[in-house]
Amino acid sequence: MTPAERHRGRPKKGDEHDTESLLEAALASFAEHGFDKTPLRLIAARAGVDVALISYRYGSKFGLWKAVVTSVAEESLLQTEDFLRHAETLPVDQRLQFICTRLVDTIFQRPAFSKVLLSETISNISAERKELISGTLMKPMHDLIMSSLRDMNLIQDLEQQPDPGLSLTVAIASAGLVSSTGSFATLFTNIGDDRQRLEEDLARLLCRILRQS
């Protein structure tokens, strides 16, 4: 085997591309075209790297997709842990609103990921990708928030009231749906392009959903 063959696909020394930029390019591409219709060459062109670099680092398109999901999950869970800890230091009557506000903010930071998440969970095309999303992000985040809400006595299991777990699922899904649809979500409102008002109104709606639990 020649030296060229041994090193085929490997990034040359000094040519390491910023991983974050590559993952962002992949996320944007998956959000626009879906997993199956996104070729690695498109992602490589968007990130400004050779397609061989992606194959070397991640092995396959699914390997890259998994890296994207894992990266977003880790960041989102860290942010969630942080604002839940801060909520515990606030007066009781301010905690739920604070949590809902920060939750909406966290979701709105990555509207492209919300689009990917919704597409994967609705389409039922790949059980493997759906399970990865569920196990890496959705269930850990749901369990983390639910546990904190219970510990702070912000929700209760009461007869004749919606299940708290369902209420939280609806709250998170609603924020994700609105963030992923962009201006379409405000077409029938007076909010217009006021993103701050959109997030504030959405946070208040999430509070109403959770208070009914």
Reported confidence tier of residue 165, pLDDT bands at 50, 70, 90: very high
Task: Supply the pTM of this predicted model.
Answer: 0.85
Arithmetic mean of pLDDT over the chain: 89
pLDDT over 90 (residue 185)? no
The listed range with the strongest mean pLDDT (95-109, 123-137, 160-174, 183-197) is: 95-109
Beta carbons within 8 Å of 42's beta carbon, 6+ residues apart: 29, 33
The reported pLDDT for the residue numbered 97 is 97
The pLDDT of residue 183 is 83
What is residue 16's predicted lDDT score, i.e. its pLDDT?
A: 47
Q: Which CATH number is associated with domain 69-211?
A: 1.10.357
Whole-number pLDDT of residue 15: 44
For residue 74, give every residue at least 6 positions away whose Cβ sits within 8 Å of its Cβ, in sequence order, or none: none
What pLDDT was estimated at residue 213?
60
Whether residue 198 has pLDDT greater than 50:
yes
- Contact in structure between 133 and 117 (CB atoms under 8 Å): yes
Fold of 1-59: Arc Repressor Mutant, subunit A (1.10.10)
Pair of tokens at residue 73: 């999950």
Pairwise CA distance, residues 32 & 213, whole Å: 36
% of the chain beyond a pLDDT of 70: 90
Residue in the block written with tokens 């990555």? 110
Domain boundaries along the sequence of the chain: 1-59, 69-211
Q: What average pLDDT does the segment 125-136 reach?
A: 92
Quote the pLDDT of residue 123. 83
Cα-based torsion angle of the residue sequence 169, 175, 181, 182 in order, rounded to the nearest 10 degrees: -170
What would the two tokens of residue 193 be?
A: 């392009």
Residues 6+ positions from 45 with CB-CB distance below 8 Å: none
pLDDT of 14:
39
Q: Report pLDDT for 124.
A: 72
What number is the average pLDDT over the span 186-191? 92
